[in-house]
């Protein structure tokens, strides 16, 4: 879950080899005002859509075949800010905040991968995206896999990066590795929220180390999960892993 350089390289490769023609439709409404959008260059907008019992925030730009980008822990749509302008040269790019995270609305439940794939499916339908490439990194990769299995008829292609899949070997062995200690910690009921409230920046910096993430980047993600319901949402995703493992082979 720390292979960020490999992630950017893979996205660059995706840009070079995945292009093909496709029809697409523009979102009917737009929201302006997020200063981070300006860093992407012209043509990008921030918007929301009500889908599947929640409201998803997304950032959209470019034109061409649709590419939906799904972030991992502990990030939001901004994870993709460096690759989005490059992809937008040939694609319609939609970077989504997953349910309960970033600018999307938190809900009491619904954080299993299959339900979150339904979120993305309904978003694609609302935006009139006929067939999409779905790219998921880390936790977003679990959603991308569930999407590709459940909605193969609307999936042009899928890329899953830097994540094991619950229920698919060697899932059980991976969970015993010391370097993924945080999975069990995040699954503990209520404890992570209480320990990390107000300390997100310290904790997130542990995962977002090295020269690839600035203090400003970490501060952004810490603020993105500052609200108690947002912090809870990310851990609810981990708590849904047993349900994901049982249902991952089902459509």
Residue 119 pLDDT exceeds 70: yes
Please write the tens of the pLDDT for every residue from 163-211.
999 999 899 999 999 999 999 999 999 999 999 999 999 999 999 998 8
pLDDT confidence of 148, banded at 50, 70, 90? very high
Task: Give the percent of the chain with pLDDT over 90.
Answer: 81
**Domains, the chain, with CATH or none:** 4-247 (3.40.50.1820)
Would you tell me how many other CB atoms lie within 10 Å of the CB of residue 30? 10
Looking at residue 23, its pLDDT comes to 33
Task: Give the percent of the chain with pLDDT over 70.
Answer: 85
The residue whose two tokens read 């939001």 is 76
- For 172, residues 6+ apart whose C-beta sits below 8 A from its C-beta are none
Looking at residue 210, its pLDDT comes to 83
User: Is-contact 204 195, C-beta < 8 A?
Assistant: no
pLDDT confidence of 247, banded at 50, 70, 90? confident
DSSP per-residue letters across the chain: ---HHHHHHHHHHHHHH----------S--B---HHHHTT-TT-EEEEEEETTEEEEEEEEE-SSEEEEE--TT--GGGGTTTHHHHTTTSEEEEE--TTSTTSPP-SS--SHHHHHHHHHHHHHHTT--SEEEEEETHHHHHHHHHHHHTGGGEEEEEEES---TTSTTHHHHTTSGGGHHHHHHHSSSHHHHHHTT-HHHHHHHHS-STTS-HHHHHHHHHHT-SHHHHHHHHHHHHTHHHHHHHTT--
């Amino acid at each position: 879950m720390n292979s960020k350089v490999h992630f950017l390289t893979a996205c660059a490769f995706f840009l070079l080899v995945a292009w093909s023609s496709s029809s697409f439709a523009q979102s009917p409404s737009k929201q302006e005002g997020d200063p981070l959008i300006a860093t992407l260059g012209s043509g990008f907008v921030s918007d929301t859509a009500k889908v599947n019992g929640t409201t998803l925030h997304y950032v959209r730009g470019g034109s061409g075949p649709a590419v939906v980008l799904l972030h991992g822990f502990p990030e939001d749509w901004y994870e993709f800010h460096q690759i989005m302008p490059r992809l937008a040269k040939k694609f319609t790019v939609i970077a989504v905040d997953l349910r309960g995270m970033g600018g999307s609305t938190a809900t009491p439940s619904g954080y299993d991968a299959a339900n979150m794939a339904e979120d993305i499916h309904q978003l694609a339908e609302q935006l009139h995206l006929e067939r999409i490439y779905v790219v998921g990194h880390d936790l977003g990769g679990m959603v991308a896999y569930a999407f590709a299995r459940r909605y193969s008829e609307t999936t042009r292609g899928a890329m899953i990066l830097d994540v094991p899949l619950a229920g698919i070997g060697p899932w059980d062995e991976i969970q015993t590795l010391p370097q993924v200690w945080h999975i069990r910690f995040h699954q503990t009921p209520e404890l992570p929220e209480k320990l990390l409230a107000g300390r997100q920046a310290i904790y997130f910096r542990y995962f977002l180390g090295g020269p690839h993430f600035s203090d400003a980047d970490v501060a952004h993600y810490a603020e993105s999960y500052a609200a108690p319901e947002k912090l809870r949402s990310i851990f609810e995703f981990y708590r849904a892993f047993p349900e994901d493992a049982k249902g991952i082979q089902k459509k």
